[in-house]
């Protein structure tokens, strides 16, 4: 690891081409100037040393002279300084590594009776002034890791040997970083300064991306990336073991992997994602066990262990499903049909070849609606929670099942042209009472559907503010621009358009605000587009012309809100939910953990109690008994089937029941006609 890493000739070509494409064709026409340079400088340092655990304040002071020059490097095809900055990191990493191994030579390096603590939030930490300060930070860091291992039942000798192995693995991983990864980090400092969904992929990353897309249909069904020494879940693929078990979520961290029911756990902290994937993937029907730190875990919480059976992803598992739930409201029972749509899927090849039964969200939902109506449901809930999007075509045609005809979404290109995508089919599959459930992880096509239903006043939108991804990306292979080029130059994913609602408001950043908001575990902008500093802004364009229905109006929403507020005060389950979520939010604010064994154990027990309370409420959707599976598309669960309670769905059902009652009131029926 002693030799400096240097750029190669192909990277200068890739730098020039990427700069040309991003500065000319990205939706946000950002000039290469000093303010962009400052953003790039900060992003580059953050990508290299996110936790401020390697560079010293003196290094950063030395780098400051380059702060306004990153834009010039792009224009002049220069790479020396970015590589120089990275090579300083390698030197600092080597110093850290030597300190860690020296510290871990002692068979008992830590005193867990000593009363000291550590702040786990490194975002606001300052760069260390000198090596002694950094040594102390690292001593605490290692002590915290050691305490976690000790509390999970490891003997003192095993704790130290696990840490030694963990950091030797990280040394090997860093030793494998070559010119390609450094160049990719530098180019992404530029790409991600434009917006969070724009990126540069070096040739091997581009190959891996293609493989992931084709191979994501086997294993546990999760896309992974490495971040801050952890393997993080980027996406849980509908239809896979992780999705069906409802155990893993976006942003969870996998810390260890074991094969079969008896295999020993292998610590994967500090691993490259390729190596981690090799351990996690495996033959169909075999068991893999994972230790996972949940995205919303409190500091110091022990990892959870999950058992998954690897399998090929069954595409039918991704398809929309329905059930009927019975809601008691005002001493009357209502039959509510629930259609769960995990993503907007469409078999484009099948559609192109005019296959009769190609898979389509709209077609499946249409059949489910017919079945539900045959069962005489009083109303229908469309559940889009955790639906990250998919086919725009399907979002448009699905909206068409509930409206007469008209515009559904507007798409604005970077040059300013606006295309309106409409439903041109006048037939309506369902015109009865409707609610759409969304949460923070409902994104993209989900937001387009929910926004259209809201703008047409066709149904109630219930849940949390959605993700806010209102942009369109395209993938460009750089070699297509220079066909005679022998070297592989990589790929660029860039944002080229924005989505707008039919009322002219963008879904970007703000997403969709529900008519009725359910209690949430998240702070505003904790997850979603708003948590990204370089996110494109919210804005407005002219409204399309469309005819509003008379199903929902402000007066109705106000009445529903009053009834909901009353339940929040009187319903014990809802009161417990609100209190538990508030406690949990507050507990997550505290980033300080104790390094004293007795205190840390008490902190863990307290965290576990809060976690258990969350799980009991079904908010977590983790573990819990799986619902009994039925073969029929639509089935009412027999009374003796113990189903996991979903408070959010129950409350949405009550809101819909309220809507059904209110809509039948003569005063409102008269008001509707006058509109």
Give the per-residue SS3 of 513-540: CCCEECCCCCCCCCCCHHHCCCCCCCCE
Give SS3 for 251. coil
Q: Which of 244, 412, 469, 498 is catalytic?
A: 469
DSSP state of 259: E
Contact 284, 273 (CB under 8 A): no
How far does Cα 529 stand from its chain's mean position? 10
60: Cβ–Cβ under 8 A, 6 or more apart, which residues?
45, 127
**Cα angle 474-391-504, degrees, rounded to a multiple of 5:** 80
DSSP string computed for 453-494: HHHTT-SEEEES------EEEEEEEGGGTSTT--S---EEEE
Q: How many CB atoms lie within 10 A of CB 433?
A: 24
CA dist 57 to 45, 54, 268, 334, Å?
12, 10, 30, 65
166: Cβ–Cβ under 8 A, 6 or more apart, which residues?
145, 267, 269, 270
Instruction: Specify the residue for token string 């064994």.
Output: 597
Note if 469 is an active site residue: yes
Query: What is the rounded CA–CA span in Å between residue 265 and residue 280?
Result: 12
Contact 389, 415 (CB under 8 A): no
Count of positions (residues) in the chain? 675
The H-or-E segment that residue 267 falls in is strand 266-267
Joined together, the tokens standing for residue 286 give: 């075999």
Query: What is the rounded CA–CA span in Å between residue 608 and residue 156?
Result: 24
Note if 455 is an active site residue: yes
Contact 377, 438 (CB under 8 A): no
Q: Which of 296, 340, 455, 646 is catalytic?
A: 455
Contact 310, 286 (CB under 8 A): yes
- Phi then psi for 135, rounded to 5 degrees? -60, -40
Query: What is the rounded CA–CA span in Å between residue 528 and residue 509?
Result: 8
- Nearest C-alpha neighbor of 187 from the set 489, 496, 495: 489
Joined together, the tokens standing for residue 93 give: 């990493």
Q: Which of 444, 505, 544, 594 is catalytic?
A: 444
Joined together, the tokens standing for residue 344 give: 């907007």
- Nearest C-alpha neighbor of 187 from the set 10, 53, 60, 415: 10
Q: How many CB atoms lie within 10 A of CB 437?
A: 28
How far does Cα 257 stand from its chain's mean position? 22
DSSP string computed for 352-377: HTT-TT--BHHHHHHHHHHHHHHTT-
Q: How many CB atoms lie within 10 A of CB 64?
A: 10
CA dist 435 to 175, 381, 469, Å?
54, 5, 22
CA atoms within 13 A on the CB side of 163: 30
β 592-594/516-517 pair status: unpaired
Query: What is the rounded CA–CA span in Å between residue 156 and residue 42?
Result: 40
Q: How many CB atoms lie within 10 A of CB 67?
A: 14
* Residues designated catalytic: 444, 455, 469
């Amino acid at each position: 690891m002693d030799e400096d890493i240097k750029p190669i000739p192909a990277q200068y070509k890739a730098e020039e081409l990427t700069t040309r494409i991003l500065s000319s064709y990205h939706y946000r026409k950002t000039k290469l100037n000093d303010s962009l340079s400052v953003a790039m400088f900060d992003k580059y340092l953050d990508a290299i040393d996110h936790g401020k655990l390697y560079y010293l304040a003196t290094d950063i002071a030395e780098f400051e002279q380059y702060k306004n020059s990153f834009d010039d490097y792009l224009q002049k095809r220069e790479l020396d300084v970015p590589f120089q900055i990275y090579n300083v990191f390698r030197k600092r990493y080597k110093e850290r590594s030597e300190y860690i191994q020296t510290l871990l030579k002692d068979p008992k390096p830590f005193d867990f009776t000593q009363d000291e603590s550590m702040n786990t939030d490194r975002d606001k930490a300052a760069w260390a002034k000198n090596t002694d300060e950094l040594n102390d930070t690292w001593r605490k860091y290692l002590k915290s890791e050691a305490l976690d291992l000790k509390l999970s039942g490891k003997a003192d000798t095993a704790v130290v040997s696990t840490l030694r192995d963990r950091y030797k693995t990280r040394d090997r991983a860093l030793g494998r970083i070559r010119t390609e990864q450094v160049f990719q980090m530098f180019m992404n400092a530029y790409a991600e300064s434009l917006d969070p969904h724009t990126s540069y992929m070096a040739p091997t990353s581009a190959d891996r991306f293609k493989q992931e897309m084709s191979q994501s249909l086997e294993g546990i069904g999760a896309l992974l990336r490495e971040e801050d020494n952890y393997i993080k879940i980027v996406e849980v693929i509908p239809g896979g073991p992780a999705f069906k078990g409802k155990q893993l979520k976006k942003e969870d961290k996998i810390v260890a992997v074991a094969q079969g029911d008896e295999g020993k756990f292998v610590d994967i902290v500090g691993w490259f994602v390729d190596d981690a994937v090799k351990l996690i993937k495996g033959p169909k029907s075999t068991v893999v066990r994972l230790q996972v730190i949940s995205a919303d875990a409190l500091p110091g919480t022990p990892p959870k262990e999950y058992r998954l059976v690897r399998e090929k992803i069954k595409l039918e598992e991704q398809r929309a499903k329905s059930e009927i739930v019975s809601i008691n409201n005002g001493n009357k029972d209502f039959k509510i049909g629930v259609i769960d749509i995990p993503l907007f899927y469409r078999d484009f090849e099948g559609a192109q070849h005019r296959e009769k039964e190609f898979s389509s969200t709209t077609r499946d939902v249409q059949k489910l609606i017919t079945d539900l109506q045959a069962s005489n449901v009083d109303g229908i809930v469309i559940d889009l929670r955790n639906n990250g999007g998919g086919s725009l075509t399907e979002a448009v045609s699905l909206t068409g099942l509930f409206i007469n005809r008209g515009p559904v979404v507007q798409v604005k290109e970077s040059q300013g042209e606006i295309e309106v995508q409409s439903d041109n089919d006048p037939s309506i599959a369902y015109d009865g009472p409707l609610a759409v459930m969304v949460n923070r992880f409902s994104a993209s096509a989900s937001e387009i559907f929910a926004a259209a239903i809201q703008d047409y006043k066709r149904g109630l939108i219930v849940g949390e503010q959605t993700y806010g991804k209102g942009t369109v990306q395209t993938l460009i292979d750089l070699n297509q621009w220079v066909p005679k080029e022998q070297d592989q130059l990589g790929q660029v994913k860039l944002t080229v358009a924005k989505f707008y609602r039919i009322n002219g408001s963008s879904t970007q950043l703000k997403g969709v605000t529900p008519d009725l908001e359910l209690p949430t575990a998240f702070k505003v902008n904790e997850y979603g587009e708003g948590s990204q500093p370089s996110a494109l802004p919210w804005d407005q364009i002219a409204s399309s012309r469309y005819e509003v229905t008379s199903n929902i109006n402000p007066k109705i929403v106000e009445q529903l809100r009053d009834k909901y507020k009353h339940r929040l005060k009187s319903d014990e389950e809802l009161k417990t939910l609100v209190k538990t979520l508030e406690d949990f939010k507050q507990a997550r604010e505290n980033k300080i953990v104790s390094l004293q064994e007795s205190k840390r154990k008490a902190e863990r027990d307290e965290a576990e109690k809060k976690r258990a309370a969350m799980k009991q409420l079904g908010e977590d959707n983790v573990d819990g008994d799986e619902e009994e599976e039925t073969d029929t598309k639509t089935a009412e669960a027999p009374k003796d089937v113990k189903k996991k309670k979903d408070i959010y769905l129950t409350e949405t059902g009550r809101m819909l029941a309220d809507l059904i009652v209110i809509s039948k009131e003569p005063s409102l029926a008269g008001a509707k006609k006058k509109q």
